[in-house]
Amino acid sequence: MVLIWGYSWVLMKIALRHAHPFDFAALRVGIGAALLFATVKFQRRPLALSGYRMAFVLGTLQVALFVALSHFALLYAGPGKTSVLVFTMPFWMVVFAHFMLRERMRGIQWLAVALAFAGLVLIVAPWQLTSLTGSLLALAAGVVWAFSAVLSKRWPTPGADPLLFTAWQLLFGFGWLALLARIHPHPPVEWATEFIVALAFSAVFATAIGWWLWTYVLSTTTAGIAGLNSLGIPVIAVLGSALQLGERPSAPELSGMLMIGIALAMLAWIGLRRARPVAAASPCD
Protein backbone atom coordinates (compact mmCIF):
# COMPACT_ATOMS: atom_id res chain seq x y z
CA MET A 1 0.00 0.00 0.00
CA VAL A 2 2.81 2.40 0.91
CA LEU A 3 4.62 1.70 -2.37
CA ILE A 4 1.46 2.08 -4.46
CA TRP A 5 0.24 5.27 -2.83
CA GLY A 6 3.71 6.77 -2.67
CA TYR A 7 4.29 6.35 -6.41
CA SER A 8 0.74 7.49 -7.20
CA TRP A 9 1.74 11.06 -6.24
CA VAL A 10 4.23 11.05 -9.12
CA LEU A 11 1.59 9.91 -11.60
CA MET A 12 -0.93 12.39 -10.20
CA LYS A 13 1.52 15.18 -11.02
CA ILE A 14 1.70 13.86 -14.59
CA ALA A 15 -2.08 13.38 -14.93
CA LEU A 16 -2.86 16.92 -13.78
CA ARG A 17 -1.02 18.27 -16.81
CA HIS A 18 -3.99 17.08 -18.88
CA ALA A 19 -7.05 17.15 -16.61
CA HIS A 20 -8.68 19.27 -13.95
CA PRO A 21 -8.25 17.73 -10.47
CA PHE A 22 -11.99 17.17 -10.08
CA ASP A 23 -12.27 15.29 -13.40
CA PHE A 24 -9.23 13.17 -12.57
CA ALA A 25 -10.59 12.37 -9.09
CA ALA A 26 -14.01 11.33 -10.37
CA LEU A 27 -12.54 9.18 -13.16
CA ARG A 28 -10.09 7.29 -10.95
CA VAL A 29 -12.61 6.65 -8.17
CA GLY A 30 -15.38 5.65 -10.59
CA ILE A 31 -13.17 3.19 -12.49
CA GLY A 32 -11.81 1.82 -9.22
CA ALA A 33 -15.31 1.18 -7.88
CA ALA A 34 -16.36 -0.55 -11.12
CA LEU A 35 -13.30 -2.83 -10.98
CA LEU A 36 -14.01 -3.92 -7.41
CA PHE A 37 -17.69 -4.60 -8.12
CA ALA A 38 -16.67 -6.59 -11.21
CA THR A 39 -14.25 -8.63 -9.09
CA VAL A 40 -16.96 -9.45 -6.54
CA LYS A 41 -19.37 -10.36 -9.33
CA PHE A 42 -16.74 -12.58 -11.00
CA GLN A 43 -16.41 -14.44 -7.71
CA ARG A 44 -20.18 -15.03 -7.85
CA ARG A 45 -20.76 -13.37 -4.51
CA PRO A 46 -23.70 -11.11 -3.64
CA LEU A 47 -23.17 -7.37 -4.06
CA ALA A 48 -25.33 -6.33 -1.12
CA LEU A 49 -23.95 -5.21 2.25
CA SER A 50 -25.52 -6.02 5.60
CA GLY A 51 -25.54 -2.26 6.30
CA TYR A 52 -24.75 0.80 4.21
CA ARG A 53 -24.42 3.53 6.85
CA MET A 54 -20.65 3.39 7.35
CA ALA A 55 -20.00 2.76 3.65
CA PHE A 56 -21.87 5.99 2.87
CA VAL A 57 -20.18 7.94 5.68
CA LEU A 58 -16.70 6.77 4.69
CA GLY A 59 -17.44 7.22 1.01
CA THR A 60 -18.43 10.81 1.74
CA LEU A 61 -15.55 11.61 4.12
CA GLN A 62 -12.65 9.26 3.40
CA VAL A 63 -13.10 9.22 -0.38
CA ALA A 64 -15.04 12.24 -1.68
CA LEU A 65 -14.12 14.95 0.84
CA PHE A 66 -10.54 13.78 1.28
CA VAL A 67 -9.87 13.50 -2.45
CA ALA A 68 -11.65 16.79 -3.19
CA LEU A 69 -9.65 18.68 -0.54
CA SER A 70 -6.30 17.20 -1.57
CA HIS A 71 -6.93 17.76 -5.28
CA PHE A 72 -8.41 21.23 -4.72
CA ALA A 73 -5.25 22.13 -2.78
CA LEU A 74 -3.31 21.44 -5.96
CA LEU A 75 -5.23 24.20 -7.72
CA TYR A 76 -3.58 26.71 -5.39
CA ALA A 77 -0.24 25.14 -4.52
CA GLY A 78 0.51 22.85 -7.45
CA PRO A 79 1.27 19.13 -7.33
CA GLY A 80 4.64 19.58 -5.66
CA LYS A 81 6.01 19.10 -2.20
CA THR A 82 3.08 20.94 -0.57
CA SER A 83 0.81 17.95 -1.21
CA VAL A 84 2.93 16.00 1.29
CA LEU A 85 1.17 18.04 4.00
CA VAL A 86 -1.69 15.59 3.59
CA PHE A 87 0.48 13.11 5.46
CA THR A 88 0.20 14.92 8.73
CA MET A 89 -2.70 12.43 8.83
CA PRO A 90 -0.91 9.92 11.10
CA PHE A 91 -0.45 12.49 13.84
CA TRP A 92 -4.10 13.55 13.72
CA MET A 93 -4.93 9.84 13.74
CA VAL A 94 -3.02 9.33 16.99
CA VAL A 95 -4.95 12.23 18.55
CA PHE A 96 -8.38 11.02 17.38
CA ALA A 97 -7.57 7.42 18.37
CA HIS A 98 -6.59 8.61 21.85
CA PHE A 99 -9.97 10.25 22.47
CA MET A 100 -12.29 8.05 20.40
CA LEU A 101 -10.71 4.60 20.77
CA ARG A 102 -8.74 5.01 24.01
CA GLU A 103 -5.61 3.82 22.23
CA ARG A 104 -2.51 4.69 24.23
CA MET A 105 0.95 5.36 22.85
CA ARG A 106 3.62 4.34 25.34
CA GLY A 107 7.35 4.56 25.81
CA ILE A 108 9.36 4.16 22.63
CA GLN A 109 6.24 4.67 20.50
CA TRP A 110 6.19 8.35 21.50
CA LEU A 111 9.85 8.61 20.49
CA ALA A 112 8.95 7.12 17.10
CA VAL A 113 6.10 9.64 16.74
CA ALA A 114 8.38 12.58 17.56
CA LEU A 115 11.11 11.34 15.22
CA ALA A 116 8.67 10.74 12.36
CA PHE A 117 7.04 14.15 12.87
CA ALA A 118 10.42 15.88 12.78
CA GLY A 119 11.28 13.98 9.60
CA LEU A 120 8.00 14.97 7.97
CA VAL A 121 8.62 18.63 8.84
CA LEU A 122 12.02 18.46 7.13
CA ILE A 123 10.46 16.93 4.00
CA VAL A 124 7.56 19.38 3.85
CA ALA A 125 9.70 22.44 4.83
CA PRO A 126 6.73 24.64 5.85
CA TRP A 127 9.02 27.67 5.90
CA GLN A 128 9.24 27.40 2.09
CA LEU A 129 5.53 27.08 1.34
CA THR A 130 4.25 29.42 -1.37
CA SER A 131 0.49 29.11 -0.83
CA LEU A 132 -1.21 29.33 2.55
CA THR A 133 -4.58 28.37 1.03
CA GLY A 134 -3.18 25.25 -0.59
CA SER A 135 -1.37 24.31 2.60
CA LEU A 136 -4.49 24.68 4.74
CA LEU A 137 -6.53 22.61 2.29
CA ALA A 138 -3.88 19.87 2.33
CA LEU A 139 -3.83 19.89 6.14
CA ALA A 140 -7.63 19.70 6.17
CA ALA A 141 -7.44 16.66 3.89
CA GLY A 142 -5.13 14.97 6.38
CA VAL A 143 -7.49 15.75 9.26
CA VAL A 144 -10.53 14.40 7.37
CA TRP A 145 -8.67 11.22 6.39
CA ALA A 146 -7.53 10.62 9.97
CA PHE A 147 -10.99 11.24 11.44
CA SER A 148 -12.72 8.93 8.96
CA ALA A 149 -10.15 6.17 9.52
CA VAL A 150 -10.65 6.30 13.29
CA LEU A 151 -14.40 6.47 12.74
CA SER A 152 -14.24 3.21 10.79
CA LYS A 153 -12.48 1.61 13.76
CA ARG A 154 -14.99 3.08 16.23
CA TRP A 155 -18.07 1.85 14.36
CA PRO A 156 -17.09 -1.07 12.10
CA THR A 157 -19.60 -2.84 9.87
CA PRO A 158 -19.95 -6.38 11.32
CA GLY A 159 -19.23 -9.18 8.86
CA ALA A 160 -18.47 -6.81 5.97
CA ASP A 161 -16.05 -8.19 3.39
CA PRO A 162 -13.26 -5.59 2.94
CA LEU A 163 -13.36 -5.89 -0.86
CA LEU A 164 -17.12 -5.37 -1.17
CA PHE A 165 -17.17 -2.70 1.54
CA THR A 166 -14.44 -0.78 -0.29
CA ALA A 167 -16.38 -1.05 -3.57
CA TRP A 168 -19.48 0.55 -2.00
CA GLN A 169 -17.36 3.14 -0.27
CA LEU A 170 -15.79 4.14 -3.59
CA LEU A 171 -19.18 4.16 -5.32
CA PHE A 172 -20.65 6.60 -2.80
CA GLY A 173 -17.52 8.73 -3.06
CA PHE A 174 -17.72 8.70 -6.85
CA GLY A 175 -21.27 10.08 -6.69
CA TRP A 176 -20.11 13.16 -4.79
CA LEU A 177 -16.99 13.65 -6.94
CA ALA A 178 -18.93 13.32 -10.21
CA LEU A 179 -21.38 15.96 -8.97
CA LEU A 180 -18.51 18.25 -8.00
CA ALA A 181 -16.84 17.83 -11.41
CA ARG A 182 -20.18 18.52 -13.11
CA ILE A 183 -21.00 21.79 -11.32
CA HIS A 184 -17.48 23.27 -11.33
CA PRO A 185 -16.60 24.94 -14.68
CA HIS A 186 -13.21 23.91 -16.12
CA PRO A 187 -11.57 22.84 -19.40
CA PRO A 188 -12.19 19.29 -20.71
CA VAL A 189 -9.78 16.39 -20.27
CA GLU A 190 -6.91 16.06 -22.76
CA TRP A 191 -6.73 12.32 -23.48
CA ALA A 192 -2.98 12.15 -24.04
CA THR A 193 -1.14 8.83 -23.78
CA GLU A 194 0.63 9.72 -20.54
CA PHE A 195 -2.69 10.78 -19.00
CA ILE A 196 -4.28 7.45 -19.91
CA VAL A 197 -1.35 5.55 -18.37
CA ALA A 198 -1.46 7.67 -15.22
CA LEU A 199 -5.23 7.25 -14.96
CA ALA A 200 -5.00 3.48 -15.41
CA PHE A 201 -2.44 3.14 -12.62
CA SER A 202 -4.36 5.50 -10.34
CA ALA A 203 -7.69 3.74 -10.92
CA VAL A 204 -6.51 0.12 -10.73
CA PHE A 205 -3.69 0.26 -8.20
CA ALA A 206 -3.95 3.49 -6.19
CA THR A 207 -7.76 3.51 -5.95
CA ALA A 208 -9.15 -0.03 -6.24
CA ILE A 209 -6.26 -2.01 -4.75
CA GLY A 210 -4.91 0.79 -2.56
CA TRP A 211 -8.18 1.58 -0.77
CA TRP A 212 -8.92 -2.13 -0.39
CA LEU A 213 -5.49 -2.60 1.26
CA TRP A 214 -6.13 0.41 3.52
CA THR A 215 -9.49 -1.06 4.59
CA TYR A 216 -7.76 -4.37 5.35
CA VAL A 217 -4.92 -2.71 7.28
CA LEU A 218 -7.38 -0.76 9.44
CA SER A 219 -9.29 -3.96 10.23
CA THR A 220 -6.17 -5.81 11.40
CA THR A 221 -4.13 -3.25 13.35
CA THR A 222 -4.61 -0.25 15.63
CA ALA A 223 -5.52 3.09 14.09
CA GLY A 224 -2.42 4.84 15.44
CA ILE A 225 0.06 2.25 14.15
CA ALA A 226 -1.68 2.06 10.76
CA GLY A 227 -1.42 5.82 10.44
CA LEU A 228 2.21 6.02 11.51
CA ASN A 229 3.30 3.33 9.06
CA SER A 230 1.70 5.31 6.23
CA LEU A 231 4.45 7.90 6.78
CA GLY A 232 6.46 5.82 4.33
CA ILE A 233 4.19 7.18 1.57
CA PRO A 234 5.71 10.69 1.30
CA VAL A 235 9.19 9.12 1.36
CA ILE A 236 8.31 7.03 -1.71
CA ALA A 237 6.70 10.10 -3.30
CA VAL A 238 9.84 12.20 -2.89
CA LEU A 239 12.11 9.40 -4.15
CA GLY A 240 9.79 8.73 -7.11
CA SER A 241 9.72 12.41 -8.04
CA ALA A 242 13.51 12.50 -7.93
CA LEU A 243 13.90 9.44 -10.18
CA GLN A 244 11.15 10.16 -12.72
CA LEU A 245 10.60 13.91 -12.65
CA GLY A 246 14.10 15.06 -11.76
CA GLU A 247 13.04 16.72 -8.50
CA ARG A 248 16.17 16.11 -6.45
CA PRO A 249 15.66 15.97 -2.66
CA SER A 250 17.55 18.57 -0.68
CA ALA A 251 19.74 17.70 2.30
CA PRO A 252 16.88 18.41 4.78
CA GLU A 253 14.52 16.18 2.74
CA LEU A 254 17.02 13.33 2.75
CA SER A 255 17.49 13.76 6.49
CA GLY A 256 13.71 13.70 6.97
CA MET A 257 13.34 10.48 4.98
CA LEU A 258 16.08 8.86 7.08
CA MET A 259 14.33 9.93 10.30
CA ILE A 260 11.01 8.51 9.11
CA GLY A 261 12.75 5.29 8.10
CA ILE A 262 14.24 4.96 11.59
CA ALA A 263 10.83 5.66 13.18
CA LEU A 264 9.19 2.96 11.04
CA ALA A 265 11.96 0.50 11.96
CA MET A 266 11.32 1.25 15.63
CA LEU A 267 7.60 0.56 15.22
CA ALA A 268 8.32 -2.70 13.38
CA TRP A 269 10.66 -3.75 16.20
CA ILE A 270 7.93 -3.03 18.76
CA GLY A 271 5.50 -5.14 16.74
CA LEU A 272 7.93 -8.06 16.61
CA ARG A 273 8.51 -7.92 20.37
CA ARG A 274 4.77 -8.03 21.00
CA ALA A 275 4.32 -10.96 18.61
CA ARG A 276 6.89 -13.18 20.37
CA PRO A 277 4.84 -13.85 23.53
CA VAL A 278 1.87 -14.84 21.34
CA ALA A 279 4.01 -17.33 19.42
CA ALA A 280 5.46 -18.70 22.66
CA ALA A 281 1.95 -19.37 24.02
CA SER A 282 0.74 -21.26 20.92
CA PRO A 283 -0.73 -24.80 21.29
CA CYS A 284 2.19 -26.21 19.28
CA ASP A 285 4.38 -25.73 22.35
Asked whether residue 96 is domain-assigned, the answer is: yes
- Residue 34: is it exposed, middle or buried by C-beta count within 10 angstroms (0-12/13-18/19+)? middle
Asked whether residue 282 is domain-assigned, the answer is: no
Asked whether residue 284 is domain-assigned, the answer is: no
Asked whether residue 181 is domain-assigned, the answer is: yes
Q: Judge contact between 74 and 134, C-beta under 8 A.
A: yes
Asked whether residue 52 is domain-assigned, the answer is: no
Report whether pLDDT(241) > 90.
Answer: no
Q: How many residues does the chain have?
A: 285
Q: How many structural domains comprise the chain?
A: 1
Asked whether residue 50 is domain-assigned, the answer is: no
Selection from 75, 63, 69, 68 nearest residue 16 by Cα: 75
- pLDDT, tens digit, 9 for 90 and up, residues 261-280: 788 777 767 765 665 554 45
| pLDDT computed for residue 139 by the predictor | 84
Report whether pLDDT(203) > 90.
Answer: yes
Total Cβ atoms within 10 A of residue 91: 20
Asked whether residue 206 is domain-assigned, the answer is: yes
pTM of the model: 0.79
Radius of gyration over every alpha carbon of the chain, rounded to an integer in angstroms = 19
DSSP reduced 3-state for 243: helix
- pLDDT, tens digit, 9 for 90 and up, residues 86-122: 877 777 887 788 788 877 777 777 888 888 888 878 8
| pLDDT computed for residue 112 by the predictor | 81
Asked whether residue 18 is domain-assigned, the answer is: yes
Which residue type sits at 51? G
What mean pLDDT value characterizes the chain?
82
Which of the four pLDDT bands, split at 50, 70 and 90, describes residue 197?
very high
Which of the four pLDDT bands, split at 50, 70 and 90, describes residue 179?
very high
CA distance 241 to 8: 10
What range defines the domain where residue 228 resides? 2-45+59-272
CA distance 3 to 206: 10
